[in-house]
Chains A and B, each alone.
Chain A
Amino acid sequence: MKGLGFLEETILLLVIIMDGDAYGYSISEAYQEHTGKSITLSAIHAVLSRLEKKGLVNSFMGGATSERGGRRKRIFKATAEGVAIINDIRDGRQKLWDLMPDL
C-alpha cells in the first residue's frame, strides 16, 4: 500500500501545497506550471482516485463556478497518512542525499 509512483508522489505533493484548492483542473494547471510538462485530465483523475483508495487523500464536493457550467469541484486534501508518507519519502531521500559526495 505504501509504495508510491513518481506521478502519485508529485500529485500528492501538489495537493498538499495547494492546500484546499486542489481539484482536477487546478492540479493539472499547477502540474504544468511547476514541472513544465503537460498532463491530461484523465491521468490526474486516475491518480487522484488511486491516492484516495490508498487513503492518502480524501475529498469533498466544493463550490461551483460559472466556468464549470455550474458543476461542483471535487476538492482533495491530504490525510495525515498522506502527509506522513510524503515526509517519509523526503526523509528517505534526504538520507541518500546526505551520503552524496561533493562533486
Chain B
Amino acid sequence: MSNPPNPPKWANRFLIWFCSEELLEEIQGDLYEAFYFRSKQKGLRFARRKFILDVLQFFKPYAFEKYSRAKQFLPMFKNYFKIAVRNILHRKSFTTINLLGLTIGVTAIMLISIYLNHENTYDLSIPDSDRIYRLMNNYRDQTYTPMFFEDYYQSEQATQMKLINYLESQEEVEVACHFVTSHSSIGSNDKYYIKVENQQFEAGDVLFTNTGNRFQSVFPQEILSGDPNSMFEGYNKIILTDKLAKKWFGNDWQNETLIGQQMIIQEEIFEFSGVIAKQVDNIHFDFDWIILQDRIPSWAAYTYFKTNENQLANTVVSRLNQEINTIYPGHTDDVLQKGIIHIALTDIHFTEDTLYELKPIANKSYLLSFGIIGLVILLIILTNYTNLSVAMYADRQKELAMRRVLGARPLDISLQLLIEAVLLSMICLPICGLVIWLVLPFFSELMAIQLDQSLLFQLNTISLLFGLLVLTGILSGLYPALVYGRRSLLKLFGSKNSSKVTQKHFNFTNTVLTIQFVMVIGLLSITFFIYQQMEYVKNKDLGYEKEGVIFFGVNGLEKYNLLKEELLTLSEIEAVGTNVIPGMEMYNQLTYKMKDTEEVFSDGTMIEMNLGTIETLKLKCPACDQLRAGKANVFVINKTAAQKLAKVKGVKEEELIGEVIIAEPEWENEEHGNGYPKLIGGIVEDFDYFSLKYESQPLLIDINREAQWAFVMLVRANTNNWSSTIAKIRKAYTGIEKDLPFDMSFLDDHLNQLYTNESRAGILMGLLSLVVIILALVGLIGVVSYIAYNRQKEIGIRKVLGASVMDILINFNKEFLVLIGIATLLALPASTYLAYQWLENFAFRIDPQWWVVPIAGAFASVLVIVLVSARVRNAAFKHPIEVLKAE
C-alpha cells in the first residue's frame, strides 16, 4: 500500500512547536483534512503550499493561547527580573566590583573608539570629500604639500591665479581653490591687530585666500550671518568664525550690527562681511578667521580641486604635468622639479613624510595599537565578567538546585542567569554614560582634539555603548547559564563532583589570568620605556642650551636693530640673535658638493644666523672668533657634513677648512657658473637643529657678524623672575612695533612640543595600563573568591592537620605567583620588541633594558599578593568546624 501524500514535515513540526497542546488536535486535524481534499482536487503541490501558508497564518497569539509560551514567559520573566534585582542588591560587594570593572573597561573602550572614530573620519565631513584632491609638488627628494607660485613672494595676483585658472579650464574639474593659513610653515606665524571703531583686538590663526567663492564651494562653511551670495566675493573682506565673534563681541554678537563694518589691519581697510561656524576639529586645516585678499601673502599656497562626478583626478594631473610649461614658462628647466602629484583629501591625514603639512598627521601604528588594546580590554571585560559570575554562582548552587526541584527547567535556570548578567550590565549604562560625560573634556584636552560632550547623545555613540553592554552581558552570562543550566540536580546539591568542574574551569581561568598578567606587565613596561625616552629627549645634551631663551617675531631688520640696542641695556639680557629656532620639523633641503668632485649630496640644510644667535644659543663655534675679531662673515659646516665631505675628498675632517663647497651645483648663474661656492671657514660640533626624531643632518651654516635680515628674535636672559623680564621685553617691543602684537614662546616649551604626539601616546598608554591593571585585579578577585569558596573544606582540613593561616596564604599565593612568572617570561620579548618598534620613531633613543619587565612583574606580584591575601584571609580565619560540618 502506497503511503498517502503527506504535508511538509517541517511545517507540521513548526505547528506542533508553537501551537498550544489543547488546540493542536483540532487545528492539525482541520489542516490535514484541508490538505487531503485539496491534494485530491488541485494537486499535491498546491495542497502543500496551502498547508505551509495556513500553518504560518496560525502563528498568532490566538494559537498559543491558554498554555501559550508567551503568556508563560512574561510572568516568568517578571520573576527572573525580580530575583535578579534581589541578587544584585544582596551581593553588594560582588555587584560593586563587577560594576567597577565593567564601567572602567567600557569607558576605556568607548573613549578609544571615539578617538579612533575622530581620527579615521578626518575630512569626511566635507561634502563630496571623495572628489576633492590636493596638488603637491615633488622638489628635489622631498614632497611639498603647498604649490609654489611662479615668482614666489613677488608673485602678483594674476600670477598666483595661473594654476587655479588652468585647473578650472579642465573639463574634469568642477572648481579649484587655494589658501594659506598664517600658522602654517609657509605662513607668517604672526598675530594681527584688528581695529574696529574704537576697539582693538588681537588674533592669529587666519586663513588667507584670494579665491573666496571657490573656497566656499570646495570647503563649504556654515554661514551664521552675512549674505551667502556675496560674503565670499571680492577682496579686502574679513569673515570671522563664531568662536572669534563671541570672543570679541560677546555671546550676543548676533544682536550687534557688525556686517559691513570697517576693520583696520596694519592701516589697510577691510570690510567685515560675515560670520561662519567654526569648523569641526577633524579637518586637516584649521582657522579662526578668513581674510579675503587679492594676493596671498606667501610664496606658495595649498591648492585643491574638486572633480566633476565620475571624473578622474589622474587625467587632470598627468595633463597638468605635460602642460605645466604653458602655465609657468620654463618650469621644467629647473632640474630639481620632479613633477606634480595629487593626493585624495581623505588621505591627507595619514600621509607621512611630506613637508609643511598643515596639521600633525595621524600615526597609524598608534591608532592600530590603541585599537588592539581596546579589543584586548573588551576580551578582559568579557572573561572577568564571566569569572565573576561563575564565582558568584558557586555558592548559589543550592538555590539553583531548589529551583529545579520546584519545577524549573534547565532552560529557566539558563534564562534566569542570562537575565541577571544582562541586567547587571544594563545598570552600567547610565553609569558609563555619566563617567564618559565627565571624562570626555579631560580626554579631549589630553589628546589635543575637540570632542564635544554632545557627542554622547549622538545615535551611534549611544548605540555603541548600548550594544557593547548588551554584548558583554549576553556573552559573559552565556557561560554560567549553560554550565549551571545543564548541571544535574545531584551535582548542584552535592559538592563532591564540583571539584572536577572547578579544576576544568580553573584551567580556563588560568589561561585568562595569564593573558591578563602579560598585558599588565607588558603595558607597564612599555609605559616605562616611553616615559624613559621622553625624559631622555627632554634632558639630552642638544649641543646648545635651551633654557633661558625666548623668541618672538620681529618685522624686519630695522626694528630688530632698534630693539636689540634697547634690550641689551637691560642687565638681565645676555644676548640676542636672529632667525634660528632649533627644534624644527625637517624643511627644504639643498644639494651640495665639494669643488672638483663629482658626488652631489641632496640632504643639506642651509642656516643663516649671526654672531648673536651663536651666543644666545651658546653654540660651540671656534671659527666664530674670527667674527669677534672683526670679520664680517664666516661659513661653517657641522661635523656630520664634514664627515661626509671628508670621505669624498679622502682627507681628514679638519683638512676641509679652507676648501670650497658648491651649494646647489645644478643652478646655473652668470656670476659663479654653477651653484654658489662657499669657503669652509670652520667646523662646528653637531647640534640638534631638528627634532630628535631625525638623525644629525649635514648643516651648512652662514654666520654673519651683524644680522642681515630678521623675522625672529631670540633673547637669552639670566633671570629668576621671568614675568618681569618678559614685561620689560614686551614694553620695549611695543614701543617700537605698533602693527604687530608681541607673541613670544620659550624655547624649551617649543622643543617639548615637538614630541607632543609621542608623549600623548605615552600618557594614553599609561592610562590604559592603569585600566588594564584595575581590570586584572577585578578579575582576580572573582577567581580568588571562587577558588576560596570551592576549597573551603580543603582549608578546613589543612587547618585541622596543623596548617597556620600563613601557610594557607602562602599556598594560595604560590599558584598566582607561578602565573605571574610565566606572564613575565611571555611579556619580556613582546614588550621589548614593541618598545624597539616605537623607538624607531626616534633617531636618538634609549636602549630598552630587559630588567624593566621583571620589575613590572614584581610590581604586579605585590598587588596580587595583597589582593589574594585579603580575599583568602576570611576563609583562612574561619573555624574548621564551620566549613567541615556542612555535609
A residues within 8 Å of B by Cβ? 23-25, 28, 40-43, 45-46, 49, 61, 64-65, 67-69, 71-74
Contact = CB atoms under 8 A, between A and B. Distances in A.
The prevalent SS among residues of A at the interface is mixed
A67 B38 CA distance: 11
Contacts of B30: 23-25, 28, 41, 45, 68, 73
B253 interface: no
Nearest to A50: B62
B539 interface: no
Interface string B19-48: 000010111111111101100000000000
B49 interface: no
A68 B57 contact: no
B263 interface: no
Given A23-B26, A72-B26, A40 B57 contact: yes
A73 B29 contact: yes
The prevalent SS among residues of B at the interface is helix
Of the listed residues B25, B63, B65, the one surrounded by the most CB atoms of chain A closer than 10 A to its CB is B25
Contacts of B32: 67-69, 71
B60 interface: yes
A24 B33 CA distance: 10
B37 A67 contact: yes
A45 B29 contact: no
Contact of A65 (B27, B33, B54): B33
A71 B29 contact: yes
Given A25-B30, A42-B63, A45-B30, 4 more contacts: A24-B29, A41-B54, A46-B60, A68-B30
Contacts of B28: 69, 71
A25 B65 CA distance: 20
* 4 closest cross-chain pairs (CB), A and B: A71-B29, A24-B30, A74-B26, A68-B29
A28 B29 contact: no
Contact of B34 (A41, A65, A72): A41
Contacts of B34: 25, 28, 41
5 contacts: A24-B27, A24-B30, A43-B57, A61-B26, A71-B26
B60 A71 contact: no
B58 interface: yes
B404 to A, nearest CB: 35
A69 B62 contact: no
A67 B33 contact: yes
A28 B37 CA distance: 13
B54 A40 contact: yes
B54 A24 contact: no
Interface of B: 23, 25-34, 36-37, 53-54, 57-58, 60, 62-63, 65
A40 to B, nearest CB: 5
Nearest to B34: A25
B31 A45 contact: no
A72 B30 CA distance: 9
Contacts of A74: 25-26
B510 to A, nearest CB: 56
B33 A45 contact: no
A6 B863 CA distance: 77
Contacts of B65: 49
A28 B50 CA distance: 14
A42 B54 contact: yes
A40 B59 CA distance: 13
A73 B34 CA distance: 13
B66 to A, nearest CB: 10
Contact of A42 (B29, B37, B58): B58
Nearest to B27: A45
A95 to B, nearest CB: 35
Contacts of A49: 62, 65
Contacts of A41: 27, 30-31, 34, 54, 57-58
B26 A73 contact: yes
Contacts of A45: 23, 26-27, 30, 58, 62-63
A42 B63 CA distance: 8
A19 B420 CA distance: 55
B29 A72 contact: yes
A42 B51 CA distance: 11
Of the listed residues B30, B31, B57, the one surrounded by the most CB atoms of chain A closer than 10 A to its CB is B30
Contacts of A67: 32-33, 36-37
A27 to B, nearest CB: 9
A74 B34 CA distance: 15
Nearest to A49: B62
Nearest to A44: B30
A42 B60 CA distance: 9
Contacts of B53: 40
Nearest to B35: A67
Contacts of B33: 25, 65, 67-68
A73 B31 CA distance: 11
A25 B31 CA distance: 8
B513 to A, nearest CB: 56
B25 A72 contact: yes
A41 B37 CA distance: 14
A46 B62 contact: yes
A99 B65 CA distance: 44
Contacts of B25: 61, 71-72, 74
Nearest to B58: A42
A61 B65 CA distance: 18
B29 to A, nearest CB: 3
A41 B29 CA distance: 11
Of the listed residues B54, B62, B63, the one surrounded by the most CB atoms of chain A closer than 10 A to its CB is B62
Contacts of A61: 25-26
B504 to A, nearest CB: 48
A12 to B, nearest CB: 18
A48 B31 CA distance: 16
